Amino acid sequence: MLEEIPGRKKKCPACGHFIYVRTRPSDRQRILVTESQAKEIELQWNCSSSSISCLGRRATHGTDLDALWKEYNHQIVETASQMNWGLYRNILLDMTDVLIIEQRYSQALKKYLEICYIDLNGPNNLSGNFDPEIMRIFPQWTPGAFPNMLAPKVIEQISELITHCGFSDGEVEAMYLEVANQNQQNLHLPLSPAEAWPELNASIDNARNVNI
């Protein structure tokens, strides 16, 4: 029992654990929750934001997600054939939004890990220019060309999904290696999965420590 409803995070006088104050996405009500419930609500808000970013450009309510997924698969093939790897990466991000809307969280996590591996390889858009001389000057991939290749929002989503799903560090690394090895084989990426993992893993750890 509380003498008054707190307006911000405070310790429970009975058990000593923190009480969190959050706004529930479903009805916009301010409620008191535990730490694990607070993380669940934060994930719900992020999922809601992802839904808007994914569907707002293409449709309103009632979008056929199966049709949208089919469209994305078509776009993936098209961008890969033109060696537009930056656009290819962005379509993967849109596909991840759909997975989150459908609450397929483990698959969404795999897709985010795939995106990070591609980001660390420095994707470029060649617009179908296959001239060897031009490709020598403007290659398909430039790993390490820019600092901070990993998108903070993607890393934040990865951290939240790991917490939400309860995956161990070993399980996350296994998921990463599965999708990264597949991508290196299919796309011939210059930076190996083993070379890319330490930077990605450190970024994930940092994000998770911030959220503790």
Judge whether 97 and 53 are in contact, CB under 8 Å.
yes
Cα–Cα distance between 123 and 204 in angstroms, integer? 21
Q: Has residue 83 got a pLDDT over 60?
A: yes
Pick left, alpha or beta for residue 143 (phi over 0 → left; psi -120 to 50 → alpha; otherwise beta): beta
Query: For the ranges 21-25, 142-146, 196-200, which has the lowest average pLDDT?
Result: 21-25
Tens digits of per-residue pLDDT, 147-201?
778 999 899 999 999 988 899 999 999 999 999 999 999 999 999 999 999 999 9
Model confidence, pTM: 0.71
Cα–Cα distance between 51 and 57 in angstroms, integer? 11
The position carrying tokens 């060649």 is 126
Mean pLDDT confidence for 134-155: 88
The mean pLDDT value of the chain amounts to 85
For 54-67, b/e burial (b = at least 16 CB within 10 A) is bbeeeeeeeeeeee
Mean pLDDT confidence for 127-152: 87
Residues 6+ apart with CB under 8 A from 54: 94, 97, 98, 101
